[in-house]
Structure 1
């Protein structure tokens, strides 16, 4: 018997793959920027740069939809929760738990994954408004 593949399961798998690429990209930017600026500034800039890449990977590969300016401008909203959760996590892990500031972003990012999936799916698969909606 051949297992039935759910389109949503395939989407979750693609999201996880993009997440892995995005995390590696973010972490590479973070490590590259960290020697030149304080850890939190490096974290923030790396986050923004990797978010741009994440938008295109998620539109084309994960959700197989066309990128639009509207989606591009709304996409940061999907990452706002991710940013808040991971920012608080990074700060707490470094300042309060005394975790190494090179490892803390990876640990904090794990907590935000489910939220990012749900929110990015809602934004990127949202139908474009029609003139009748205006």
Structure 2
């Protein structure tokens, strides 16, 4: 793979991440504010909807692979790793490096985006 193709994949991966965040938040707010559904149920539903959309966007737009049931079932692992790393890094940055808790999550993205990209690529691409 050419370096330019890798850069393009990374950029597409970040775009999908932005779309994923937007999808989550729209579903969350619709359920919470319009349907008056409990915030936890709204959060979980938004997360699941965004995860499903993210899977297909990553397959078709980022990695250009055919979706399969096996890949679909493995894909949530990428999100578990992401959330776990983000939480741990947030704690470390705030507690030990005294980074302001308002900006600390963004510092964690520097590490978690590449890790999530590599893990997603490993799970989704045909070997």
> Is the TM value for this pair above 0.5?
yes
Alpha-carbon distance, 1:81 to partner: 1.8
**Structure 2 residue corresponding to 1:30, chosen from 15, 25, 28:** 28
Correspondence list, 1:14-25, <5 A? 14-25=12-23
Instruction: Give the aligned partner of residue 48 of structure 1.
Output: 48
Taking the aligned partners of 2:84 and 2:38, their CA distance within structure 1 comes to 18
Match of 1:6, SS? helix
Q: Are residues 46 and 84 of structure 1, via their aligned partners in 2, closer, same or farther at CA, if it must alter by over 3 Å?
A: farther
Question: In the alignment, is residue 11 of structure 1 matched against residue 9 of structure 2?
Answer: yes
Match of 1:60, SS? helix
Instruction: Give the aligned partner of residue 75 of structure 1.
Output: 75
Q: Are residues 37 and 113 of structure 1, via their aligned partners in 2, closer, same or farther at CA, if it must alter by over 3 Å?
A: farther
Taking the aligned partners of 1:113 and 1:46, their CA distance within structure 2 comes to 21
Taking the aligned partners of 1:63 and 1:27, their CA distance within structure 2 comes to 25
Alpha-carbon distance, 1:20 to partner: 1.4
Q: Are residues 30 and 115 of structure 1, via their aligned partners in 2, closer, same or farther at CA, if it must alter by over 3 Å?
A: farther
TM-score between the two structures when normalised by the length of structure 1: 0.66
Taking the aligned partners of 1:79 and 1:40, their CA distance within structure 2 comes to 18
Task: Note the residue ranges of structure 2 that are not aligned, 5 or more in a row.
Answer: 92-101
TM-score between the two structures when normalised by the length of structure 2: 0.69
Taking the aligned partners of 2:31 and 2:66, their CA distance within structure 1 comes to 32
CA RMSD of aligned residues (A): 2.7
Contact 2:65 2:126 in 1 (8 A): no
Match of 2:65, SS? coil
Q: How many residues align?
A: 107
